[in-house]
Amino acid sequence: MSSEASKKYIVHPGGKVTGKVRVPGDKSISHRSIMLGSLAEGTTEVTGFLEGEDALATLAVFRGMGVDIIGPDKGKVTIHGVGMHGLKAPTSSLNLGNSGTSMRLLSGLLAGQGFDVTMTGDKSLSSRPMKRVTDPLALMGAKIDTTDGKPPLTLHKTSSLKAIHYDLPMASAQVKSCLLLAGLYAEGKTSVTEPAPTRDHTERMLEGMGYQVEKEGSTVSLVGGGKLTATNIDVPADISSATFFMVAAAIAPGSDITLEHVGVNPTRIGVINILQEMGANITLTNEKVTGGEPVADIRIQYAPLKGIRIPEDQVPLAIDEFPALFIAAACAEGQTVLTGAEELRVKESDRIQVMADGLTTLGIDAKPTEDGIVINGGVIGSGEVDSHSDHRIAMSFAIAGLQAGGSIQINDCANVATSFPGFVDLANKVGLQIEEIDG
Ligand SMILES: O=C(O)C1=C[C@@H](OP(=O)(O)O)[C@@H](O)[C@H](O)C1
Ligand SMILES: C=C(OP(=O)(O)O)C(=O)O
C-alpha cells in the first residue's frame, strides 16, 4: 500500500507562514474508526477521515474481511458494522503498507477471531519490532508466528483467549490498544498498566460505542464479551500534521497561522507544551469536545525560541512530533536536550539518527545519544538530506527551508502520503516554497 514511486522535494529558502488552514484528519482516530466501526452493531458515519495511505490500508483490510464500507469521499466514510463476530476470513494476506498502528492494533483485534490470517508490510514496517505485541498476546493464548519478532505475522485460529494483567514495558498506545482489543474477545478482565500516559483514543472510542472501560490511576481495563454500538465519529484534524505548521510559524519571523479544528486530547498536546516552554506564542480558541475528543483552533505567531531540557513526561505526549521539534531546536537560541525518547529509534526510521544526520549535513550541531539528542541552535545551511522513507522526517526538513541559507533537497519523500496527503500544496499555499519532483 505504501508509495513505491520515488519523490524528491526541493525546498527554496526563506518565507513565512500565514493564513487559516485545516490539516487532514487524525491518523490514530481514523484507524480506530474503521476497526471499531466494523465490529459495531449498526452503521457508523465517519467525517474528517484521513485519506492517507496508512488509514486507507486499514480500511482496505476490513473490506477484505467482508465489511461493507462506503467511501472515503471528501473524508466521509460509512461503515456497516458486522458485529463482534461477523468478520470473514480474508482470502489473502493483509498488506498494511507502512503502518505500525494497523499491524499492532490488528494483532490484538484479530487474535481472537476464528480464522488464520497473515499480515505483511513494506520494507520499513517489516523491520519494526512486533514482539512487544506478540509476547503479551501469547500470554493470552494467541498463536502467532513471526520471524525474529518482525513481520510478517501469522495469527492462527485459537479456541479462546484468556484475560491477563500486563505491565507495559514501554509507553506505547499501540501495545495498550492491541491488548484492549484482544481483551474484547477474552474471558474475564484484561488490564494494562502503562509506565506513562499515552494517547487514549481507543479507550474514548470504545466508551463512545457503549463499551465499559475502567480507568484507575495508570491502569485501564475492560471485560471481554460485550458489544459495540455504532455511532457517528467526527475525526478532528491531526495535531501531528498541524505540528509542521506550528513549528514553521515558530521559526519564521512574521508568521501568523491558525490551524482549525485540531484534536487537542491531553494525551497528544506535548508539542504545544514543549513549544510554549521554548517561548512560542500559541493560543487556543473555539475549544469544544466532539465525539468524546477535545478540539480547538490553534493560532501560532512568531516569537523567538530558546533551547530547553525537554521534560521526560512530555515525551509520550509528543512522540511523533520530535522530528519537527528538532527543527525548532535547531532554530532556537542555546541548547535543547532530549532524553527518555529511545522509542524514536523504532519508528518508520531511526528518527534520532536520521534527524541528527540531516541536521549535521545542514550545518547544525546535533549529537545523538542512546535515548535522545542534544541540539545546539545555529544557522541552517543548504544541502541534500535523506528522509529514509519516513514521512515525518521529510516534512520536518521541508519546514527547515524557511530558515535555511540555501535550497534543501530532500530525497525519498513519497511516504508523506501515508499521513499527510496534499502536504506540498497546503504548505505552498501558506507560504513555503517546495517543489516536488518525481524520481
Ligand atoms: O496508537 C497510535 O495510534 C499510535 C501510537 C504511537 O506509537 P507507539 O505506541 O509505538 O508509541 C505513535 O507513534 C503512532 O504514530 C500512532
Ligand atoms: C510512528 C508513526 O506511525 P505508525 O507507528 O503507525 O507507523 C507515525 O505516524 O509517526
Q: Give yes or no for residue 101 CB within 6 A of ligand 1.
A: yes
Ligand 2 centroid distance, CA of 121 (Å): 13
CA of 160 to the centre of ligand 2 (A): 30
What is the model's pTM? 0.98
Give one DSSP letter per residue of 343-397, joined into a string. GGGGSSS-HHHHHHHHHHHTT-EEEEETTEEEEE---B--EEEE-TT-HHHHHHH
Ligand nearest to the CA of 100: 2
Which residue's CA lies nearest to atom 5 of ligand 2? Answer: 100
Start-end of H helices in 237-301? 239-251, 270-277
- CB-CB contact of 284 with 246 (8 Å): no
- Residue 250's region, left for phi above 0, alpha for psi from -120 to 50, else beta, is alpha
Q: Does 265 contact ligand 1 (Cβ within 6 A)?
A: no
Find the residues whose C-beta lies inside 6 A of ligand 2.
Answer: 27, 54, 98-101, 320, 347-348, 392, 419
Q: How far apart are CA 148 and CA 129, in angstroms?
A: 9
pLDDT tens digit sequence for 86-135: 999 999 999 999 999 999 999 999 999 999 999 999 999 999 999 999 99
C-alpha of residue 407 to centroid of ligand 1, in Å: 32
Our answer to whether residue 320 is catalytic in this structure is yes
Q: Per the structure block, which three cell numbers stand in for 422?
A: 496534499
Ligand 2 mean position, distance from CA 398 (Å): 19
d(CA 202, CA 16): 37
Does 320 contact ligand 1 (Cβ within 6 A)? yes
199 lines ligand 1 (CB under 6 A): yes
pLDDT at 159: 83
pLDDT of residue 412: 96
Among the atoms of ligand 2, which is closest to the Cα of residue 27?
9
Residue 408 banded pLDDT, cuts 50, 70, 90? very high
Catalytic residue among 26, 234, 297, 320: 320
102 CB under 6 A from ligand 1?
A: no
Q: Judge contact between 258 and 297, C-beta under 8 A.
A: yes
Among left, alpha and beta (phi > 0; psi -120 to 50; other), residue 220 is: beta
Considering every ligand atom shown, identify the ligand nearest to the alpha carbon of residue 241 and give its number: 2
Please work out, in degrees rounded to the nearest 5, the angle formed at the alpha carbon of residue 53 by the alpha carbons of 144 and 60: 60
Q: What is the pLDDT of residues 196-250, one digit of tens each?
A: 999 999 999 999 999 999 999 999 999 999 999 999 999 999 999 999 999 999 9
Is the pLDDT at 4 greater than 70? The verdict is no
Cα of 199 vs centre of ligand 1, distance in Å, is 8
Given a contact cutoff of 8 angstroms between Cβ atoms, the answer to whether 253 and 278 are in contact is: no
pLDDT of residue 5: 66
- Strand duo 76-80 + 68-73: pairing: antiparallel
Q: Which CATH class is domain 7-25+237-438?
A: alpha beta
Nearest ligand to the CA of 201 is 1
What is the best residue among 199, 343, 349 to mutate for testing ligand 1's pocket, by most ligand atoms within 8 Å of CB? 199
159 alpha carbon to ligand 2 midpoint, in Å? 32
pLDDT digit string (tens) for 21-59?
A: 999 999 999 999 999 999 999 999 999 999 999 999 999
Atom 1 of ligand 2: nearest residue by CA position: 347
What is the best residue among 50, 109, 168, 174 to mutate for testing ligand 1's pocket, by most ligand atoms within 8 Å of CB?
174
Give the nearest ligand 1 atom to 28 CA: 3
- For the domain made up of 27-234, give the CATH fold: UDP-n-acetylglucosamine1-carboxyvinyl-transferase; Chain (3.65.10)
Write the DSSP assignment of 88-105 as a string of letters. Answer: ---SS-EE-TT-HHHHHH
* Nearest atom within ligand 2 for CA of residue 392: 10
Q: Tell me if ipTM is over 0.95.
A: yes
- Which ligand 2 atom is at minimum distance from the Cα of 319? 10
- Residue whose CA is closest, atom 14 of ligand 1? 101
Asked if residue 22 belongs to a known ligand binding site, the reply is: no
Please report the pLDDT score of residue 1 as a whole number: 40
Domain with CATH 3.65.10.10 in the chain: 7-25+237-438, 27-234
Which triple of cell numbers denotes residue 66? 467482508
Label residue 3 by pLDDT band (50, 70, 90): very low
Please give the distance, rounded to the nearest whole angstrom, from the Cα atom of residue 292 to the centre of ligand 1: 19
pLDDT at 221: 98
